Chains A and B, each alone.
Chain A
Amino acid sequence: MVKSPGSQISAGLDPLRNCWQRFVGFLFPLESDAWLAVFRIGLGLQVIVYTLFLRSDWHYLFASRGKGLVGREVGEAITFFDSPLIPKLGWLVALGHNLNMSEETVLTLAWVCLLSAGWLLLLGLFCRPAAIVAWFVHLCAAESGGLLAYGADSFMTTALFYLMLSPLPDHYSFDHWVAKTKPKNPLLSGFWRRVLQIHLCFIYFIGGLAKFLGNGWWDGSNLWRSLIRAPFTVVPPDVLVRFKYALPVLGISICLLEVSYPIFIWMKKTRLIWLSCILAMHAAIGLLMGLYLFALVMIVMNVAAFGIPSRSTTAQAFSGSPN
């Protein structure tokens, strides 16, 4: 019996279809929203800590020229060159001028908005609007103070961006208890967790690879330099010297841990070990270098992505339809 050309093409496409189905299955696993609750609460805490840490310097960092440290105009001009559509505090100040509000009042309002959004996220009240406000105001601050920003700001923006797009509210939020909101699609919950997981793999693989390319990570000198580098000098160099023979081992271990993260974090047998080591590394960065905000956001992202066991069976108990 001779097969028709149509059925031959169809049979030829079967492997492609199978690949697509497997890809979709990987991208959209059934997932409970426990991870999302951890992510929301963690980021709420992060936003609160961020605003409180900058409380005394908020106006000084983001005021216009002549009033603050360097004036936000330079940072905004550099951002404008990249694209005029990138949000910045200057937009809010201009809007405030139209409403007869001074720059100082607008900056204070922005700070209050950010702090309130952090508390709302922590409590799970008005989750989605709170996530959008937190992302927007933080992005404005990060872009206006672009010259003053560091790694923690990028990670916060990314985390808030994913949180804002995730299927909020989760089952553990006040929104769910009070307003009895309908359960969200568990496949979407799984999708956004996958996005976060894969993003973390990128972060560590690239970070580890780039470190491996520097000779200072092989002999421990980079670890020494990073720990005695102002303003990260929390541990006195006299104390560090006692551990001089451990520094090369630690330096190589950090590179190995990071570069192999995308492999071992997915294996059930090694996940807990890799996650614990990564969390310990971030805790150490926070405590030994004083990078508390950076440490906290990385810990929150890791715990939400890989720290909460996948509970696909629970997801099936959701009353919402998977599609």
Chain B
Amino acid sequence: MYSERIHAAWFGIHFFLLTAICLAGVFWLIAQGSTILPSACNDYAREGELVLTWCLGKQAGASNPLRRGIATYLHAAGIQAGYTFFAPNVPNHHRLRLELFHEDGRVEYESPRVRSEAAALRLDSLLDRLAEERYEPVREVLVKMLAFSVWREHPDVKKIRATFGSVNPPDINEFEQGKIETFQPIFSFDFSLRDEQKQ
């Protein structure tokens, strides 16, 4: 009986946290205005999301032990993110195009590469994250590192221009008419061996 109560209590806490995470994810989508719901719902969704993030301790200070405890548990159980994959709509994917300027004046085009398909999926996951607003503070550092990973294989390159952008695929009717995907640059950085400068 004692064991049952402990298990039941854990069950209650675990699924309460999971419910909060999942609903917060759905409310976030609605609050962004990216759903088919009327825009009047956006404010309610934002409030709902705030309440749920409060339940998860995210409103507390970064060093708050409860916040840290909840975050650690969520990560340990793999439930730190909701289950809103490919929802409400499938987002565009992103590409990082690197222009390599060689010492002798040649210009080559490259992209960061990995060996296996499994790792390629992860690289694409990283590129999609770069477009997210919350990763803006680490964007330049990450692009620089991706550029550096290519630079290591081309040591004679004196400058790299990294252009990050969104790839817009044609819809099915446009595809039938022969339209192909388009690349929409979002930002770019120039990196040289000595310094880097944002464009």
Complex interface bits, A207-237 against B, C-beta within 8 A gives 1, otherwise 0: 1011101111100111011101111000001
Q: Nearest-CB distance from B29 to chain A (Å)?
A: 6
- Kindly identify, within residues 99 to 140 of chain A, every residue whose CB is under 8 Å from any CB belonging to chain B: 139
- Stretch from A1-9, A77-85, A270-278 at the B interface: A77-85
B26 interface hit (Cβ, 8 Å): yes
Q: Cα distance A228–B125 when bound, in Å?
A: 16
A145 touches B71 (CB 8 A): no
Q: Which residues of A contact B167 (CB under 8 A)?
A: 230
Would you call B121 an interface residue if the criterion is a C-beta within 8 Å of the partner chain's C-beta atoms? yes
B148 within 8 A of A: yes
CA distance A279 to B142 in the complex (A): 37
Separation of A157 and B75 alpha carbons in the complex (Å): 8
Interface: B123 (CB within 8 A): yes
In the complex, A198 has a CB within 8 A of chain B: yes
Report which of B7, B29, B86, B149 forms a contact with A69, defined as CB distance below 8 A: B149
Q: B interface, by DSSP: helix, strand, loop or mixed?
A: helix
Q: Looking at the assembled complex, report how far the CB atom of A217 sits from the nearest CB atom of chain B, in whole angstroms.
A: 8
Measured between beta carbons, the chain A residues less than 8 angstroms from B121 are 150, 231, 290-291
Q: Is A247 an interface position by the 8 A CB rule?
A: yes
**When A61-B114, A210-B25 are in contact, do A241 and B120 touch as well, CB less than 8 Å?**
no
A154 touches B145 (CB 8 A): no
A147 to B112 Cα, complex, angstroms: 15
Q: Is A313 an interface residue (CB 8 A)?
A: no
Can you list, as one digit per residue, whether each of B94-126 has a CB less than 8 Å from chain A (1) or not (0)?
A: 000000000000000000101111111111111
Given contacts A54-B116, A85-B68, contact A27 B11 (CB under 8 A): yes
**Smallest CB gap from A135: residue in B:** B76
A308 interface residue (CB < 8 Å to B): no
Q: Which of B14-22, B46-54, B154-162, B186-194 contacts A (4 or more CB under 8 A)?
A: B14-22
Q: In the assembled complex, which residues on chain B have CB atoms less than 8 Å from the CB atom of A211?
A: 86-88
Quick check: A202 and B89 within 8 Å, CB to CB? no
Given contacts A83-B72, A143-B75, A226-B90, are A54 and B83 in contact (CB under 8 A)? no
Complex-state Cα separation, A217 to B138, whole angstroms = 33
Please pick, from A28, A53, A207, A231, the residue contacting B4 in the complex, using a CB distance under 8 A.
A28
Structural contact, B36 and A215, CB atoms closer than 8 A: yes
**Distance between Cα atoms of A217 and B36 in the complex (Å):** 11
Residues of A within 8 A of B19 (CB): 202
| Cβ-based interface call for A182 (8 A) | no
Q: Which of A87, A147, A228 has the most CB of B within 10 A?
A: A147
Interface size band for B: 35 or more
Contacts of A318 in B (CB 8 A): none
B145 contacts which chain A residues (CB < 8 A)?
65, 69-71, 74
- Is there a chain A Cβ closer than 8 Å to B40's Cβ? no
- Bound-state Cα–Cα, A279 to B75, Å: 27
Contact-size category for A: 35 or more
Q: Which of B26, B34, B114, B117 contacts A60 (CB 8 A)?
A: B114
Chain A residues in 8 Å Cβ range of B61: none
Task: Flag whether B44 is at the interface (Cβ < 8 A).
Answer: no
Q: What CA separation (Å) do A128 and B148 show in the bound complex?
A: 42
Within the complex, which residue of B22, B72, B78, B176 is in contact with A161, where a contact is CB–CB below 8 Å?
A: B78
CB pair A224–B118 under 8 Å, yes or no, is no
Alpha-carbon distance A81/B138, docked complex (angstroms):
13
The residue on B at minimum CB distance from A194 is: B11
Q: Which residues of B contact A (CB under 8 A)?
A: 1, 3-4, 7-8, 11, 14-15, 18-19, 22-23, 25-26, 29-30, 34-37, 62, 67-69, 71-72, 75-90, 93, 112, 114-126, 129, 135, 138, 141-142, 145-146, 148-149, 167, 169, 171-172, 175-176
19 contacts between A and B (CB under 8 A): A27-B4, A74-B142, A82-B75, A83-B67, A85-B72, A139-B78, A147-B142, A148-B119, A148-B122, A150-B122, A157-B75, A202-B15, A203-B83, A210-B25, A213-B36, A220-B172, A226-B90, A228-B169, A228-B175
